[in-house]
Structure 1
Amino acid sequence: MKILGAGFLNLVYALLILLHMQTSIGSNSTTADDGVKCIESERQALLSFKQGLVDEHGWLSSWGSEEEKKNCCEWEGVQCSNTTGHIIMLNLTTYFILRGIEYPCENLTLQRTIDLSSNKLTGEIPIQMASLSEMHQLNLSRNYLTGRIPPDIGQMRQLESLDLSHNKLSGQLPPSMSQLYSLSKLDLSYNNFSGKIPTSTQMDTFNASAFVGNNPTLCGPPLTPSCPGDEKLIDDGLEYNQKDKDEFWKGFKPSMKLGMAFGFMGVLAFKIDHPWKRVCFLLSNHMKVYLSNLEGYLCLVVSALCLVITVNAARLRRKLKF
């Protein structure tokens, strides 16, 4: 298939609009016996789309305006709802256009799917594509698309598979990609994306192969290169934690010394008879008030003082007994 003109994706967008299905659309394709015909406006959109192509091998010969071809639900690569006649899938991969490999229609069971891979598409992805909130699978791989991914692509909440690989897309990945909660398959490889990969529970499930072959400045998990500034955040965090630990031990050691001293004084006070007991209690309380910010060695002085009092009191009691 060959593409005529750089405005080809405008025709693609016309098809995307008609594929923006309502939730009432059924999941099975129509057949000639179903009695449900395709929507006329959608048939005209497909014919306009065909005019932008050069079908060298005639694989789109079933697409036509003749009377016998009016039911677009019977066209090659088109699948319709069996209840409304709306188109629910368009599959125009080159396997039936360039490679000549024909697959049975029974295998085309995925609904709300667009597969335009390997069709030499040029131009930018229309930003309006993000409004296709019911789209489940989108494959635009192996084309010549340029520009950026639509910034609001996160609105495609039902998207389960996105393949934009092997194009010439560039710029940063939209942060809204972190809102693609249903996404289970992603391939953005071999483009020219740069910047930080958006992070989310869903995005973190993909491996590096989904992002290989891009600009070397593309960074962040799951790629090995860290983004500029990430190392500083890590280093700052480690430095902050170490500072907290140092401050903790700096304040803890004097407090521990004071606590040991006051505890020792309290024990001694219980072993001393009146009036020395009152003296140690008063001294202990006094030291709690005025020595809380002094160096730890003062606590040792307090402990030694109480020890001297205790020893002298014991000697005095022995002398009095004799």
Structure 2
Amino acid sequence: MELYQRKQILEVIETLSSKYLQGKVRAIRLAIVSLLAGGHILLEDIPGLGKTSLALALSGILDLDFGRVQCTSDLLPSDITGLSVFDRQKSEFKFVKGPIFNNLVLVDEVNRAMPKTQSAMLEAMEERRVTVEGVTYGLPEPFLVIATQNPAEQVGTFPLPESQLDRFLITTGIGYPPPELEKQIIQRGSVRDELETIKPLLGRDKIIETSRFIRDNVKLGDLVADYIHTLIERSRNHPQVFSGISTRGGLSLAAAARAEAYLEGRDYVVPEDVQQIAVPVVAHRLILRPEFQTVRKEEVFQSLLAEIPVPMA
């Protein structure tokens, strides 16, 4: 059985990974999962590994309106959401929309912005709307925020609070390409100019319809629901964890597992879908105890994942 638009979605992933963003198939797939599941993605890595190129390529191949916010320490919330300006001809205030009013928004180096500005994205990412001076404006569909974050060791960074990290469905890195591929990239040069001419393979209406199809038709049975609940419950009692995965984290894992099952060609979720997507979806939601701050959250959750038996149908 061929699921709705699945062939076209896989073609998008294949085209991007083979032609424009070689060596980044994992990041591309996770970005697609995030888009189909109605979430947002945070890319954590050093500058210069193709995070911006990934956002540009996705917006081009999916025919999505693209907006970009370059975060700096003097960035204001209104630089993201927009502001009201006085129209002298009409003698009234007019709302000028900010870059958040696009289908795909790249928030570059988000942890260089001040905490007040970071928090301006919360309502937009969670509620898909923006309130300015008491007036609420809806955001377009589909809506995906791709935020990039520099390592905390770099100068001028402000760590994202847990409440904002929880707004990201997926957190992942890009990583260095394999040596031979990196040599080819260096020899060939940047693909940024090529991304300007990329031809759309799928439109925004199809993305919306596909997301609804996944939500309404990809089933998550009792066994898998119990498995997800066991994962989040056990995370709260892990000896290295101060605060485990919230109910929202469980909902996010279920939504991402549905999208993963769809990409695998099934209209039902199996435990392997949960395992495949679990670490990038929930590891960043863990808050470790002070004595374990040097331990990677991914490793903690991987150990938890290995301890819990996989349910058998």
Please state which band the TM-score falls in when normalised by the shorter chain. under 0.3
Give the TM-score normalised by structure 2: 0.26
Q: Which has the higher contact order (CA 8 A, sep 6+)?
A: 2
Greater percentage in helix: 2
Greater percentage in strand: 2
Q: Which has the larger radius of gyration?
A: 1
Give the TM-score normalised by structure 1: 0.25
